[in-house]
């Protein structure tokens, strides 16, 4: 009598097909999770940069600005354009769009500026989008408080 142990090729193919279907159903959830994490981590990153710019303005006693470019780069520097950037970084490349209603600086870039007392030059909103997810970072006028809205 022959002892049959193991699985047939057809049984293994059926199990693999079922696993592929289940993982395919889970994939959209992974993408939306990645989009949500991207906008939230980028919002935290830009919030820290804005707060750091404000703190540097008060500590140094000089007007400071955060320059935000549409490709996700940002620089922290003095308002004196001849001075080099004090810090340069980049937001996630997974972001679809970065929109701001801060007034353009002389060179057509978005600028979040603070005077030597830590007061913002203006209030405004930076909107970060990835996939269907959207987060707003707001700088409140007068106080300079930075808040994140999901």
pLDDT digit string (tens) for 34-93?
Answer: 999 999 999 999 999 999 999 999 999 999 999 998 888 999 999 877 888 888 999 988
pLDDT value, residue 19: 93
114 pLDDT higher than 60: yes
145 backbone dihedrals φ, ψ, rounded to 5°: -65, 140
Predicted pLDDT at 106? 64
The tokens of 104 are what? 């353009």
Cβ 104 vs Cβ 110: under 8 Å: yes
Q: How many CB atoms lie within 10 A of CB 55?
A: 13
CA-nearest of 93, 112, 94 to 103 is: 112
* pLDDT of amino acid 107: 67
Q: Tell me, what's the pLDDT at 39?
A: 95
Share of residues in the chain with pLDDT > 70 (%): 93
Predicted structure pTM score: 0.80
Geometric angle at alpha carbon 100, from 40 and 148, rounded to 5°: 35
Strand partners, 144: none
Task: Give residue-wise pLDDT tens across range 99-112.
Answer: 998 876 666 678 89
Per-residue model confidence (pLDDT) at position 139? 95
| pLDDT computed for residue 79 by the predictor | 84
Domain spanning 9-149: CATH 3.40.50.300: no
């Amino acid at each position: 009598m022959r002892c049959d142990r193991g699985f047939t090729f057809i049984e293994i193919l059926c199990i693999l097909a079922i696993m592929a279907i289940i993982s395919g159903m889970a994939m959209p959830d992974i993408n939306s999770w990645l989009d949500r994490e991207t906008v939230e981590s980028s919002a935290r990153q830009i919030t820290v940069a804005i707060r750091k710019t404000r703190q540097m303005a008060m500590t140094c006693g000089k007007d400071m600005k955060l320059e935000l470019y549409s490709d996700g780069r940002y620089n922290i520097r003095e308002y004196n354009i001849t001075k080099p950037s004090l810090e340069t970084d980049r937001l996630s490349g997974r972001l679809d769009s970065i929109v701001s209603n801060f007034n353009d600086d002389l060179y057509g870039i978005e600028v979040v500026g603070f005077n030597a007392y830590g007061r913002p030059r203006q209030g405004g909103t930076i909107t970060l989008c990835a996939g269907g997810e959207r987060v707003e970072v707001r700088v409140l006028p007068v106080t300079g408080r930075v808040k994140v809205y999901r």
